[in-house]
Amino acid sequence: MNAEMPLACKPGDYKSAVKPIWCPGCGDYHVLMSFTRAFAQLRLPPEDVVVVSGIGCSSRIPAYTNCYGFHGVHGRSLALAAGLKVTRPELTVVVASGDGDGYSIGGNHFLHACRRNVDMTYVVMDNHIYGMTKGQPSPTTEPEFDTALTPGGTGVRPFHPLVVALASGANFIARCFSGDPNETADVLVEAIKHPGFSFVEILSPCVTFRPDEKAWKDMVRVAPVPATADQGKAARRLMTDDGFNLGILYRGSRKPYRPAVGANNFDLAELEKDFEL
Amino acid sequence: MSKLPSYPKVSNLNDLLAIAYQIEIDAVDRYNLLADQMETHNNPELVKIFRDLARAEGIHGEEIRRLAGDFDVVAHARAMARVKHGESPEEADLGSAHYMMTPWHALQLSLGGEERALAYFTMIVETAKDEKVKAMAAELVEEEAEHVNLVHRLLKRYPKPSENWADDLDPPASQE
């Protein structure tokens, strides 16, 4: 970074000139605000932050920030981000996803990213629906969600992302509500600072295909107990929680995965020869 | 979650002015964001209303700067006037926006913001120990009360829309 440049410290410094095209009322606007407020609180130079995403409404977020961004392949954002972080460990890597992109198409990557514990922050904007493709049920959709696309409801038990994250080895687990952007920003700050794989689920209403989710603002509450470092306690809490307890719910102490990169001094020209046809 | 803002403690007049200034600036940003959304979704009438509201809040912010005289209220606001919980009082609720919203809805959002600001400054009047803070907060209460009245007057021009204001002949839920 140019030493003469002042450090960015206003949320607006992290916003790009691209105007979001989310539906008015969408929770993702607030999530974008939380991202920029968290980066400003941490005084991160925008060029040292990379926002990686997959596909979906939530995954448009890199375009709306002034940081480096990678709008990747559906469900593969974590793989991209992990590769980036192990080769450029000095960067702050934040991954943005939705419940469809992150838990269905990218479900397998989610498990292994938790297990691998690379030092990055995974934010899933969960609205219990595929919004961009007009309202199909996602892995977190309730079984009784009854629409023309799901007559009589899906009848399928929803995925429980926080429990899965804990069981798979995530080192930091939190839940936020998009309508509380300051609290969400504070949690993101903690998630980014925490070593290892941090998972933050943000309940972010889809006002177009799930107008019933507007009621979430009256349903969410701050979790009555502080974060625990005990996996057993965390498992019990997360298994019995109704999905509306907010805050940092688990802080682990696993050592992040930091492979030695670049120590082998590969000659790229030599390697390329192996791929010549 | 609580909608009441929780600012750092107001210890002196400068703190109060910084918070008052930041409230207006937050409102400017929020109205401009809503105007941008309406621009994207081709609702030009609302674009104009939200831009006008942003401009009005900007003027209020400038008035507070003038009240602060030589004191750098902008820098002080940046350093201390961040809402810890909830949102800044005059920030219109983004979750209530809709691509087909009408001027009446926009003014309802504005009214809510002005009323929250009025409640916040009233709370300062009632709890402040410093007489200067109390006096300035009372001025701000008067100011906000006038804004509330102004929005009520504007609302007379825009009656409440019919129940089916959000009916869209070409709805986004095209698969249903």
**The domain spanning residue A223 has which CATH number?**
3.40.50.970
Distance CA(A252)–CA(A232), nearest Å, equals 12
Mutate to test the interface with A, among B94, B101, B108, B168 (most CBs of A within 10 A): B94
Query: Considering chain A, what is the average pLDDT of its residues?
Result: 93
- The interface predicted TM-score (ipTM) is 0.84
What residues in A contact B33, CB-CB < 8 Å? 29
For residue B99, the SS3 value is coil
Contact residues on chain B for A207, CB-CB shorter than 8 A: 95, 98
pLDDT band at B9 (very low <50, low <70, confident <90, very high): confident
Interface of A with B (CB under 8 A): 10, 12, 19-25, 27, 29-30, 134-135, 147-149, 177, 179-183, 205, 207-209, 214, 217, 220-222, 246
Length of chain B measured in residues: 176
CB contact under 8 A, A24 and B33: no
Query: Over the stretch A45-95, which tens digit does the pLDDT of each residue have?
Result: 999 999 999 999 999 999 999 999 999 999 999 999 999 999 999 999 999
Predicted local confidence at residue B121, as pLDDT = 94
Predicted confidence (pLDDT) per residue in A114-157, tens digit: 999 999 999 999 999 999 998 999 999 999 999 888 999 999 99
Q: Do A183 and B176 touch (CB under 8 A)?
A: no
pLDDT recorded at residue B89: 86
Please give, rounded to a whole number of angstroms, the shortest distance from the CA of B131 to a CA of chain A. 31
**Does A267 map to a domain?**
no
The partner residue sitting opposite B94, judged by closest CB among A25, A182, A183, is: A25
Query: What is the pairing mode between strands A197-203 and A172-177?
Result: parallel
What span, in angstroms and rounded, lies between the C-alpha atoms of A176 and A185?
9
In this structure, is residue A10 part of a structural domain? no
Q: Can you give the pLDDT at residue B8? A: 74
C-alpha A103/C-alpha A219 separation (Å) is: 23
In A, which residues are within 8 Å of B83 by CB distance? 182
Give the global pTM: 0.89
Q: Which of A114-123, B21-30, B151-160 has the highest mean pLDDT?
A: A114-123
B13-89+98-157 under CATH 3.30.70.380, yes or no: no
Question: For position B5, what pLDDT does the model report?
Answer: 62
The predicted model gives B76-87 an average pLDDT of 74
H helices of chain B, in order, are: 13-40, 44-68, 73-80, 103-127, 131-157
CB distance from B84 to chain A under 8 Å?
yes
Is A5 a residue whose pLDDT tops 50? Answer: no
Say if A229 falls within a structural domain: yes
Residue of A nearest to B78 (CA): A10
Residue A130 parent element (H or E):
none
Residues in B touching A181 (Cβ below 8 Å): 87
State the DSSP code for A250.
E
- Number of domains present in the structure of chain A: 1
**B85 within 8 A of B2, measured Cβ to Cβ:** yes
Chain centroid to Cα B28, Å, comes to 8
Decide if pLDDT at B7 tops 80.
Answer: no
Residue A47 belongs to what domain range?
A: 21-257
* C-alpha span between B114 and B91 (Å, rounded): 9
Q: What is the mean pLDDT of chain B?
A: 89
Hey, are the CB atoms on B82 and A19 less than 8 Å from each other?
no
Query: What separation, in Å, do the N-terminal and C-terminal C-alpha atoms of chain A show?
Result: 41
Specify if A156 maps to a domain.
yes
Q: Mean pLDDT throughout B70-99?
A: 83
For residue B176, give the nearest of A19, A22, A148 by CB distance: A148
Nearest residue in chain B measured CA to CA from A183:
B85
Which of B 23-62 lie inside 8 A of A, CB atoms? 29, 33-34, 36-41
- Burial (CB count within 10 angstroms: exposed 0-12, middle 13-18, buried 19+), residue A208: buried
A105 contact partners, CB below 8 Å, separation of at least 6: A54, A55, A74, A75
Q: Determine, for residues A23 and B176 on separate chains, whether the beta-carbon distance falls below 8 Å.
A: no
CB contact under 8 A, B41 and A214: no
Residue ranges of the domains in chain B? 13-89+98-157
B38 contact residues in A (CB cutoff 8 A)? 24
A14-31: average pLDDT? 95
* Token pair in block for residue B76: 């002080």
How much is the pLDDT for A2? 39
Query: Does residue B80 sit at the A interface (CB-CB below 8 Å)?
Result: no
Beta-carbon neighbour count of residue A170 at 10 Å?
26
Beta carbons of A135 and B173 less than 8 Å apart: yes
Instruction: Count Cα neighbours of A84 within 13 Å in the Cβ-side half-sphere.
Output: 23
> pLDDT (tens digit, 9 = 90+) per residue, A181-211?
989 999 999 999 999 999 999 999 999 999 9
The size of the A-B interface in CB pairs under 8 A is 74
- CB-side neighbour CA atoms (13 Å) of B44: 0
A184: chain B residues, CB-CB within 8 Å: none
